[in-house]
């Protein structure tokens, strides 16, 4: 068991990529804190983990509120005694051209995706620093590099995570904490369904991906398990583009 007895907090783990990461971290032996703004979907992830013999608790968390993160962290500490792994996955997007993008929609996306990542790290880092050990993973997006995936609001929020990551990686590594990111591109989730409804545009899209298929949530979660493990202890400050070879083809 790669992550036996490790405690992992995964934000936005009520569905999609976040849920799969929670399931696979639990499968690798971690005790999982399912953090999500939605109780109903978060509780389902918890049940899925428990049904397969894992340990999980749900905490309600709106990542754009520091008090929410701090409350969630203290619940996690009471339940499991520490936090070893943090996966910042919670995020939102919308398909909007820059000319149509309102200030409010820009602000909301930046606040949840970028400021939310900072607040999550801010609220949880004291528990890692006290043990001088920890792994932080950020689920960003290839959008940071290509500018695709919804619009300028989304791409800015995701690229911003990369700058945050580079700072944290150099500041925290000397204190035992590594920070990395996965930047997925076209993973089969409901976000993909909304950006590309099933049909001919979707078939065209597959042709652009050298490996000949869309990414699966498991592609992200399996990499996340590896990066969260001690096998990855020399990997720090990296952004892994998980795109089937598409972006630079």
Partner 1 sequence: MLAIDLTSKVALITGGARGIGKGITEAFAEAGAFVAINYASSGEAAEKLAGEICQRGGRAVAFRADVSDFDQVKSMVHDIIQEFGKIDILVNNAGITSVHSIEDLEPGEWDRILKVNLYGVFNNSKVAAEHMVIMGEGVIINISSTGAFTGGGGGPHYSASKAALHGFTRALARELAPKGIRVNSIAPTVIESDFLLGRYPNPKDREKLAKQIPVGRIGNPLDVGYMAAFMASPLGSFISGEIIIMDGGRTFR
> Which positions are catalytic?
154
Which residue from 50, 44, 53 is spatially nearest to 16, judged by alpha carbons? 44
**What's the angle, vertex CA 160, arms to CA 141 and CA 228, rounded to 5?**
55
- Give, as ranges, the residues between 42 and 81 that touch partner 1 (CB under 8 A): 66
107 belongs to the binding site for partner 1 (CB under 8 A)? yes
Residue 240: beta bridge partners? 182
Q: In this chain, which stretch among 48-56, 84-92, 160-168, 218-226 interacts with partner 1, using CB under 8 A?
A: 160-168
DSSP 215-249: B-HHHHHHHHHHHHSGGGTT--S-EEEESTT-TT-
* Near partner 1 by CB under 8 A: residue from 8, 34, 138, 164: 164
CB atoms within 10 A of CB 156: 18
Least distance to partner 1 from the beta carbon of 150, Å? 9
Tell me the window of 17-25, 91-99, 186-194, 223-231 that interacts with partner 1 (CB under 8 A). Answer: 91-99
CB of 135 to partner 1, least distance (A): 15
> Bridge-partner residues for 136, per DSSP?
86, 179
Chain residues that interact with partner 1, rule: CB under 8 A: 66, 97-99, 101, 103, 106-107, 110, 114-115, 118-119, 121-122, 125-126, 129, 143-148, 151-152, 154-172, 237
């Amino acid at each position: 068991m790669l992550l036996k007895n490790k405690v992992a907090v995964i934000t936005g783990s009520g569905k999609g990529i976040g849920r799969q990461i929670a399931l696979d971290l639990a499968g690798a032996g971690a005790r999982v804190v399912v953090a999500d703004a939605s109780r109903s979907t978060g509780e389902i992830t918890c049940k899925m983990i428990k049904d397969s013999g894992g340990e999980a608790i749900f905490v309600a968390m709106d990542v754009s509120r520091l008090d929410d993160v701090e409350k969630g962290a203290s619940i996690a500490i009471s339940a499991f005694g520490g936090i070893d792994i943090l996966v910042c996955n919670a995020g939102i997007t919308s398909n909007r051209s820059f000319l149509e993008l309102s200030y409010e929609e820009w602000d909301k996306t930046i606040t949840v995706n970028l400021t939310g990542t900072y607040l999550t790290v801010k609220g949880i880092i004291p528990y890692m620093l006290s043990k001088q050990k920890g792994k932080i993973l950020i689920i960003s997006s290839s959008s940071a590099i290509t500018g695709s995936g919804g619009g300028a609001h989304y791409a800015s929020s995701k690229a911003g995570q990369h700058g945050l990551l580079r700072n944290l990686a150099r500041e925290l590594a000397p204190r035992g904490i590594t920070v990395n990111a996965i930047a997925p591109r076209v993973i089969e989730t409901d976000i993909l369904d909304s950006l590309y409804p099933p049909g001919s545009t979707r078939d065209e899209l597959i042709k652009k991906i050298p490996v000949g298929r869309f990414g699966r949530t498991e592609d992200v979660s399996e990499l996340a398990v590896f990066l969260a493990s001690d096998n990855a202890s020399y990997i720090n400050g990296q952004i892994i583009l998980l795109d089937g070879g598409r972006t630079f083809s």
